[in-house]
């Protein structure tokens, strides 16, 4: 079961990033220093540091970058994936937080370089009738950022081929919750594939689902 992180929306931003990374590791969605998370700020964004395990994270180790990814005086180096965080914030002004994981089931599908199709109506939680898998690109590269941006067009989450999962949200809590939801969907899809493959919802059915989702939940 996912680890409880408290109410991320009420925590200091640096403490909230630490809580998210620890929660992701406790729930098995990341291991060691894998994955990263960030939060938009008035000055740019805060992002987790490279190569630091969640248990070693502290508020002062979170890295502040400006809107183009330049350091704002942090003593620690940012995650190697800072480029796609920077570019997503630049291209998607509605996004306030990003979570990236190497979770087991989403990553398994990413190694197959396949989208998650409309096998379940909850796919629409990520914003469309599928969760796309971006083509492979080297981690930390501008090429990876470029393909991630394309996969995220009209979407809130995507897979990265042979790599992992990106989830976004208006807040860190929303991005964290979406990460858990997409990993759960990836798990279900993997199980369905083992049983011969699921029956997919039609485009007409998914159009109705997406319309219904406009008023789903508390609309944070």
The set of catalytic residues is 81
> Which whole-number Å values give the CA distances from 102 to 70, 159, 164, in the listed order?
26, 10, 4
Give the E-state strand segments of the chain in sequence order: 36-40, 45-47, 63-65, 97-101, 133-134, 157-160, 164-169
Task: Decide: residue 49, CB within 10 A, 0-12 exposed, 13-18 middle, 19+ buried.
Answer: buried
- Is residue 122 within 8 A of residue 198, CB to CB? The reply is no
Angle, helices 142-151/82-91, rounded to nearest 10 degrees: 40
Nearest 5°: phi and psi at 173? -60, -45
- Is residue 25 within 8 A of residue 31, CB to CB? The reply is yes
For the chain, the straight-line distance linking the first and the last C-alpha, in angstroms and rounded, comes to 23
Output the six-digit token pair for 190: 């993997």
> Which whole-number Å values give the CA distances from 141 to 90, 144, 145, 217, in the listed order?
17, 5, 7, 36
What 3-state DSSP class applies to 44? coil
């Amino acid at each position: 079961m996912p680890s409880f992180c408290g109410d991320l929306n009420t925590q200091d931003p640096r403490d909230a990033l630490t809580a998210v990374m620890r929660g992701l590791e406790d729930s098995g969605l990341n291991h060691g220093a894998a994955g990263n998370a960030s939060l938009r700020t008035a000055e740019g964004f805060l992002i987790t540091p490279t190569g630091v395990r969640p248990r070693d994270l502290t508020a002062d180790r979170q890295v502040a970058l400006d809107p183009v990814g330049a350091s704002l005086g942090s003593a620690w180096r940012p995650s190697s994936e800072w480029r796609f965080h920077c570019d997503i914030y630049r291209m998607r002004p509605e996004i306030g937080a990003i979570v990236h994981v190497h979770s087991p089931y989403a990553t398994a599908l990413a190694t197959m370089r396949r989208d998650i199709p409309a096998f379940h109506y909850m796919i629409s939680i990520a914003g469309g009738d599928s969760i796309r898998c971006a083509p492979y690109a080297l981690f930390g590269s501008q090429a990876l950022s470029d393909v991630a941006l394309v996969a995220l067009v009209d979407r809130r989450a995507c897979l990265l081929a042979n790599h992992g999962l990106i989830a976004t949200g208006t807040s860190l809590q929303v991005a964290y919750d979406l990460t858990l939801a997409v990993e759960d969907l990836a798990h279900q899809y993997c199980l369905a594939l083992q049983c011969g493959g699921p029956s997919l919802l039609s485009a007409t059915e998914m159009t109705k689902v997406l319309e219904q989702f406009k008023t789903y939940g508390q609309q944070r």
